[in-house]
Structure 1
Amino acid sequence: MSIIKIRNLVKKYHILEKEFSVLDGLDMDVEEGEIFSIEGKSGIGKSTLLNILGAMDSFDSGEVEVCGTNLSDMDERGKESFRAEKIAFIFQHHLLLPDFSALENVSIPLLIKGYSTSKAEKEAISMLEKVGLKERIHSHPSQLSGGESARVGVARALVAGKKLILADEPTGNLDRENSRNLMGLIQELQKDLRFSLILVTHDMELAALAHKRNQIFQGKLKPASVPQTV
């Protein structure tokens, strides 16, 4: 069953009185439980597409259906509700609240959903244990390494049980060892929790985790060219 269905998506920008189509008739289908990568160089439209999927950016024409919701005619209040209920984000720079502990950062999505503080903390602790941070739940972002901060970001995205996760360069701010550790963690959690993951990246090792690899070319999606091994 499709969790994302896009037909003929067009997104234009106007710069110095000139019009540019960054997405030009793009089609996209993602099934439930898939890891779907969008690869390519900076400026080609990867993050633009991700922002449209997350109802963070508008588009000029086309049909965009995400988690059974048509995003075409949604007002700002509807977009806010959609994001809160349907999807979660993993960011390159983690965007943790500096004055909050790991436990408090991961509890926030549950508190927004109306959980009591005690129930939210219980669920947050369980998720932090899943990402290997049992001993760091009371640490603040300034006390965490880059790899640990990335794991808190993953825990925060997954704690509310949403079925679609949008990840924008999740390993882009990490060294190679921490990148590989995070890649393994994401793959393990995806197999366990069965969420769908849209993965925007230029990291070929990370993209190799995907069930379907794609790249944006001339405003459209096409299967990514995968290096052959011998």
Structure 2
Amino acid sequence: MPFQPIVSQRLYQQVANQIGDLIRSGEFVAGQRLPPERDLARKLGASRPVVREALVALEIAGLVEVRGGSGSYVKELGELVTEGPDAGPSPFELVSARMLIEGETAFVAASEATDAELAGIVETMETMRALMAAGEPTFETDRLFHARIAAATHNTVLPPIVVGLWDGQFAPMFEALSHRTRLQENQRATMRDHGRVIEALLRHDGPGARQAMRAHLAEVMRVLMRDYDADPSD
């Protein structure tokens, strides 16, 4: 028997494969509503965030349709590739990584940032506020806010790490999940949280800046877990 390449799978890919196998075996047929996320998580022995990511991956692959307020339905029968649908990094792992890293960058920036750097961070928030008022996208300015805080640590390794994690939001998985949970409609909370981070930075309050940044990203996590597939009859 020839050697087979070892394929590293994301956890949500493994769960997506199991659900795909159930679809192929006839356990779930086209048009059938899948069990709610909580039930799938219990049956598969996985966390609910991982199950949510798996369903989004299956939706991206064209096998599942998520209907807001109703649930997830089998869209069509099809073959999953052996390694499962890879739609990018896990959004929940991505945000968790940001909480770890950006909480500490905010902590360090609170003591290291110069007056000019603090002014630049404040400027990004003012620009975001103006863009919101005009109904314009705030992605680039939001990205710049986090990048400038990382740069204010004066550690040249941190800015590309922070920006790289932020850019993970443009992967198909994150984009699909943020669209489903209407993450972009949470801009007022984002502005509030950015303001709290800035207040701590201006006070040179490292622990406060860390807490404010982590709270900001915890809010992102909360929104990504917002219910959108509940069946009103459940």
TM-score (norm 1): 0.30
TM-score (norm 2): 0.30
| Larger proportion of helix | 2
Larger CA Rg, structure 1 vs 2: 2
Larger relative contact order (C-alpha < 8 A, sep ≥ 6)?
Answer: 1
| Larger proportion of strand | 1
